[in-house]
Amino acid sequence: TPEQETFGKEAIKAKCENSDAEVDFAYQVIVDPSFKENQCLNDVYEAMGKAPTFDGYLQAFDSDMSVANLTFGADSNFGQNPNYAGYTNAMAITNPPLTSNMINIDFNTDPSTSGNILNKPDVFKAVSLIHEVLHAEMYRKMLDAVRAAEISGNNLNWTSWTSEQFYNDFLNSLENKYFGIFDYFTRYNYGIPVGSNPNDYQHQQLAQHYRDVVKQALTEYDPSLTETQKEALSWLGLNTADIKAWQLKSPQEQQAIEDLINNIKNTFPNGCN
């Protein structure tokens, strides 16, 4: 298929550029050396891979049924990357597939930024992994809607589509196949130019509907975590002023969550130290 061909090319490219690149052909996941060689980051990834919830989302990218491919990388110059301007407090960014069906997750390992994931406890890394894979899963479903709409190409660069392809074909397909994404996309991202704020509608949906997934993945990753700790950790990256679900929390509830997040940040172990 075109999707498998794209993955094959990316896999060959990754191995040619660095023989240490790891290619998981079963899941169609490429683990870039920049990620793999960060041992503390890769260790958490491998531990999360044993968690059924995280593993289940990776399986959605397997070679038999996926329309998308996935790459894990790490960017030590995250703060200088023009694509991430304004996001230097982020531990990672999932890049929308605008040129092919390859979805790239870049983890922030830039010591000059506040989001540097290597300075965070391992449980923060675990949250970031499942959080970004959920972003990737949403993009995978959007690509599936593109294929179902029979639009030429295998990416989300709708600036090259006609109005009929976008309004009548893609949105109708998205509504019929994945109404939740359609609902949040049209409510929070409709009409916004590609690349301007790629995750806003996704963060709204994650905060409202996917935090239980994060908590379940954390239960499997570290059974010693309390329900209160998992609840607080599920808000990482979502406890911002423009997130509607966060706005519904009282100031007292918000403060209690943020206090616990800070406590975990300052007291939990970090394998990078």
Backbone angles phi, psi at 29, to 5 degrees: -120, 130
Average pLDDT, integer, range 240-258: 94
Burial annotation 17-27 (CB, 10 A radius, 16+ → b, else e): eeeebbbbeeb
Alpha-carbon distance of 105 to 133, in angstroms, equals 8
Alpha-carbon distance of 160 to 166, in angstroms, equals 10
**For the segment 113-127, what is each residue's pLDDT rounded down to a tens digit?**
999 999 999 999 999
pTM for the model: 0.88
**For the segment 43-83, what is each residue's pLDDT rounded down to a tens digit?**
999 999 888 999 999 888 875 557 888 999 999 999 999 98
Check residue 178 and give its pLDDT: 97
Paired tokens of 29: 């996941």
pLDDT of 14 over the 90 cut: no
Alpha-carbon distance of 75 to 77, in angstroms, equals 5
Cβ atoms of 273 and 239 within 8 Å: the answer is no
Count the Cβ atoms, other than its own, within 10 Å of residue 208.
16
**For the segment 191-200, what is each residue's pLDDT rounded down to a tens digit?**
554 444 444 7
Check residue 78 and give its pLDDT: 97
pLDDT of 25 over the 70 cut: no
pLDDT of 6 over the 80 cut: no
C-alpha distances in Å from residue 90, one per residue of 84, 109, 147, 172 = 9, 10, 31, 33
Query: Rounded to the nearest 5 degrees, what angle is found at the Cα of 101, between the Cα atoms of 239 and 24?
Result: 85
226: three-class secondary structure by DSSP? coil
Give me the DSSP letters along 84-118. Answer: GTT-TT-SEEEEP-SSSSEEEEEEE--TTSTT-GG
- Give the residue extent of every domain in the chain: 1-273
Give me the DSSP letters along 106-166. Answer: EEE--TTSTT-GGGS-HHHHHHHHHHHHHHHHHHHHHHHHHHHTT-SSSS--GGGS-HIII
